[in-house]
Amino acid sequence: MARLPVNSMLSGPAGGVIGTVEFARNLDIDNVITYDMGGTSTDTCLIRGGRYALATEGMVGGLPNRAPEIEITP
């Protein structure tokens, strides 16, 4: 992380997605929609076949972000 701190952006919502994938795997569930609601935002992610999609471009605070990230919909 110290070399590329940009990779830690959206790590909170990403952690929720990764945790949900593992939780669903333990229950033998392949398709899940995550819903992460906080004090100021809500994020969702679609998990199909036990996998989440990766995005290569996104926006954070109205600015472009080209770091790879889990495809999370605010």
At 8-59, the pLDDT tens digits run 877 888 999 999 999 999 999 999 999 999 898 899 999 999 999 998 888 8
With a cut of 70, say whether residue 1 has pLDDT above it: no
**The pLDDT of residue 65:** 85
Nearest partner of 54 among 33, 30, 31, 72, judged by Cα: 72
> Domain count of the chain?
1
Output the pTM of the full model.
0.78
Residue range of the domain that includes 40: 5-70
Confidence check: pLDDT of 2 > 90: no
